[in-house]
Chain A
Amino acid sequence: MAASIALRLEFGGGAELLFDGVREHQVTLPSQSEPWDMKQLLVWIKGNLLKERPELFVQGETVRPGILVLINEADWELMGALTYQLQDQDNVVFISTLHGG
């Protein structure tokens, strides 16, 4: 049984528009039998935090192309992208690079 995990989520670059304009979220993921990974986190965000237009954030199983994901200030691709297993007090940042310039 994995304990519940506290995470800090941040949204930037315009992604916050889909979350009612709130950029920072302190969330606690409920405990479950397997450790949480990024794929499950995305599903959780889509179900619990995302307020509108899910297709602008999540595409299929992964984030929409153009949205940068940083886990503890490092590119998530270095950590395994969707398969990365979340740990307590991790900081996950979603930055949309599609807007602005």
Chain B
Amino acid sequence: MCQVDAEYNDKLDARSPPSGCFRDYFVHKFRAMLGKNRLIFPGEKVLLAVSGGSSSCSMLAQVQQGLSKDAPKKLRFFPGIVHVDEGGVTGQSAEERRRTVAQLESIFRATGFRFYIVPLEEVFCLPGHVLGASCAPPPGSQGDYKAAVDRFIQSTRVGGGSAPSRQGQEEDSSVREAQNLLCQLDTEDPPSGTLTVDPQLTGALQKLFNSVKSLTAKDDLLLTLRQHLVVHTARTQGYSMVMMGDSCSRLAVKLLSNICQGRGASLATDTGFCDCRYGDVGIVRPMRDYSSKEIAFYNRMFGVPSLFIPGLDTKSPDKASIQRLAESFVTRLQADFPSTVSTIYRTSEKLQTAGGSRSADAEPTAKCLLCLCALDTRQAEASAFHATLVSEKLSQKRTPESCPADRPPDGQSCASAGGRCCSSRSPTPTDLKSLLCYSCRLTVQDMTATEFLPPYIVSEAERRMRRSQMEEEIAEFLLPEDDTEEVA
């Protein structure tokens, strides 16, 4: 699909459309996106989050092509693939899930990269520290990046065969690189097609999602759980970066629906190129410059395999959820005004988090429990947020049970770090609210019962509540931070 050519030719030769320059343009955009934001250092391990859809499979194909031997200026990182199987939530039968997984496996095996297929039910086995964002190593400056690249090139050129000819050197370096890659390849077989999922966990997952009333909240929860699972996989398998396949159109829709859900404060992290909220694992979005149309054309013309996996909102009407509404709004507007998506995209590029580095060092308690963005709910009296709280209070009938009088007995408050508290009740929505940002509060509020939440969320919530209680108790004994006097 080369529109330039069509403009100059009156009759488009429909049987063999010119595709060379489109391919170059597509590949170049990917490389340029990675090269412009010098975040992926050579030799780094990067996990590709592939949902099986057209955008993420296209990303996979780009990475595969960029790492192939005959690519000019090869990419220099080591990829792995992760896929989260959400069949338990979307109501697919075990047979359908196995079939989908088998198809995906054949696609992944063809790439030769290590892959992990993780069922969403594994959120019930996650440890609590997934939500504790560890401090990130500071992102390298430009000088560091260049130095790292030089070092990498040196290390691949060092070795025997000091043949003066350039050809000899190139051969050596390619052999050495192949050896490097071989060392990275795992010799053990990845697990085969039979995805054994504990039916009890599937039942628990379904109970969790059935307790959420609206599709908006379900979508939000699914996204959060999926992201936690991907980050956890990256951490345990030693990957320092995760690549997501969000396309430009998808990010434009996400931007609008996030604003509608009250996530305006974290727009930059949610839609920007790099998402550093998890500290040690960075999330990048290299496909954010491609519209979904370009991706569909590329996949069609160059035979990129992709799957269609039904999601939560498949076949749902336009007004079923905020996300669906935003999507239909943007797509319809785009049909009449083709610059819609790119305008929204350019606007999102200009968004930056105020005081970005500061938020990375902030106390874990100042981050939202679910989405790990900075808590935006400690606002002054004269803010819009406070007004929403007041109107909420006034419009609800206050019953005696809703008073927050059910705190655990103070005498037994366990101050030991990580010690199990004696209270075995799960946190009520009221308790969780103080730990969540505005939009996550809305999601949790939509749940009829919070006891179905996965254990890692509950345990992390309890830990933070205990910690804040402890801080309250010893607050008067702590020296204020701006106190510069030395204690004798």
Contacts and interface: CB of A to CB of B under 8 A. Distances in A.
Interface of A: 12-14, 16-17, 53, 56, 65-66, 68, 70-75, 78-79, 93, 95, 97-101
Contacts of B6: 78
A13 B296 contact: yes
Q: Which 3 A-B pairs have the closest CB atoms?
A: A100-B53, A65-B335, A97-B292
Given A14-B314, A79-B12, A98 B247 contact: no
Given A12-B308, A65-B335, A100-B55, A75 B315 contact: no
B379 interface: no
Interface residues of B, number: 38
B311 to A, nearest CB: 7
B200 interface: no
Interface stretch (B212-220, B264-272, B326-334): B326-334
B306 interface: yes
17 contacts: A13-B296, A13-B308, A14-B310, A14-B314, A17-B314, A66-B331, A70-B300, A72-B14, A73-B14, A73-B300, A79-B12, A99-B314, A100-B56, A100-B306, A101-B56, A101-B246, A101-B247
B53 A93 contact: no
Interface in B303-333: 306, 308-311, 314-315, 327-328, 331-332
Nearest to B16: A73
A53 B318 CA distance: 12
Contacts of B297: 68, 70, 75
Interface of B: 1, 3, 6, 12, 14-15, 17, 51-56, 245-247, 249-250, 292-293, 295-297, 300-301, 306, 308-311, 314-315, 327-328, 331-332, 334-335
B1 to A, nearest CB: 6
Contacts of B334: 65
B17 A100 contact: no
B247 A65 contact: no
Contacts of A97: 54, 249, 292-293, 295-296
B354 to A, nearest CB: 29
A70 B296 CA distance: 10
A56 B332 CA distance: 13
Given A14-B314, A17-B315, A71 B14 contact: yes
Contacts, number: 80
A99 B293 contact: no
A65 B334 CA distance: 8
B311 A99 contact: yes
A89 to B, nearest CB: 11
Nearest to A87: B14
A53 B317 CA distance: 10
Contacts of A78: 3, 6, 12
Given A71-B14, A99-B308, A100-B306, A56 B315 contact: yes
A56 B301 CA distance: 25
B12 A100 contact: no
Contacts of B14: 71-74, 79
A98 B327 contact: yes
Nearest to A78: B6
A80 to B, nearest CB: 11
Contacts of B17: 73-74
Contacts of B54: 13, 97, 100-101
A53 B308 CA distance: 18
Contact of A95 (B249, B296, B314): B296
Nearest to B309: A100
Contacts of A66: 292, 331
B3 A53 contact: no
A31 to B, nearest CB: 23
Contacts of A53: 315
Contacts of A100: 51-56, 306, 308-309
Nearest to A62: B335
Given A14-B310, A97-B292, 20 more contacts: A12-B308, A13-B308, A14-B308, A16-B308, A17-B308, A66-B292, A66-B331, A72-B15, A74-B1, A75-B297, A79-B14, A97-B293, A98-B292, A100-B52, A100-B54, A100-B56, A100-B306, A101-B53, A101-B54, A101-B246
B266 to A, nearest CB: 20
